């Protein structure tokens, strides 16, 4: 049972680690446009993202899919930037007016990219294990738990600011997306120069 908690905790901490905050940034821009009233859409977006990154995490760990980690490290901040820009362009639209088919497709693709990033880390921490399946599953569960924490925090903060402090939904989306863009641009530049 202690091995379960070890890999679960590693997955949880990998997402919530302030030194590796790219996954947090993506989750923030993924759900900042939504509220608790659109919980079904949030559920499907996060589930599709989870499906994408869990699939690529397993495929990459078992070396069925091999992608250069330098390219993945460039694509991750690019997914964050694209999602933040999408939010800014659509900030005036109501939650239900976004083209959901395109959003689901891009979220799945971005999940695949993020899963490739997770696999690089997982392969480093589990290199000595003969069997990777259970540790990989435990690691993935830790990631999912961390995602739920981040998504709930963003939704709660959005609810408080919009309902208690009367911040307009559009302003909330624009400010958060702009902050994320400001954080991710230097990361993108650094990873681009590393190619």
SS3 content of the chain, % helix, strand, coil (to 5): 80, 0, 20
77 exposure class (CB count in 10 Å sphere: 0-12, 13-18, 19+): buried
Can you tell me the distance from the alpha carbon of 10 to that of 178, in angstroms, rounded to the nearest whole number? 30
pLDDT of residue 1: 53
Question: Do 107 and 52 touch, CB atoms closer than 8 A?
Answer: yes
10-residue mean pLDDT series, the chain (195 residues): 85 90 95 94 94 95 94 96 95 76 92 95 82 92 96 97 97 98 96 85
């Amino acid at each position: 049972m202690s091995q379960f908690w070890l890999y679960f905790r590693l997955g949880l901490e990998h997402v919530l680690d302030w030194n590796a905050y790219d996954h947090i940034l993506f989750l923030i821009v993924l759900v900042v446009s939504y509220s608790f009233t659109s919980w079904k859409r949030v559920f499907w977006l996060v589930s599709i993202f989870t499906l994408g990154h869990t699939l690529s995490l397993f495929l990459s760990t078992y070396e069925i899919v091999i992608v250069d980690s330098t390219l993945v490290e460039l694509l991750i901040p690019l997914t964050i930037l694209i999602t933040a820009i999408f939010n800014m362009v659509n900030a005036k639209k109501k939650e239900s007016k976004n083209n959901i088919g395109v959003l689901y497709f891009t979220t799945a693709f971005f999940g695949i990219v993020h899963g490739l990033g997770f696999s690089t880390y997982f392969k480093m921490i589990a290199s000595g294990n003969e069997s990777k399946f259970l540790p990989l599953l435990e690691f993935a569960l830790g990631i999912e738990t961390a995602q739920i924490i981040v998504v709930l925090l963003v939704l709660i903060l959005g609810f408080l600011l919009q309902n208690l402090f009367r911040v307009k939904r559009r302003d909330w989306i624009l400010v958060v997306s702009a902050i994320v863009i400001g954080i991710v641009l230097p990361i993108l530049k650094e990873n681009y120069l590393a190619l």
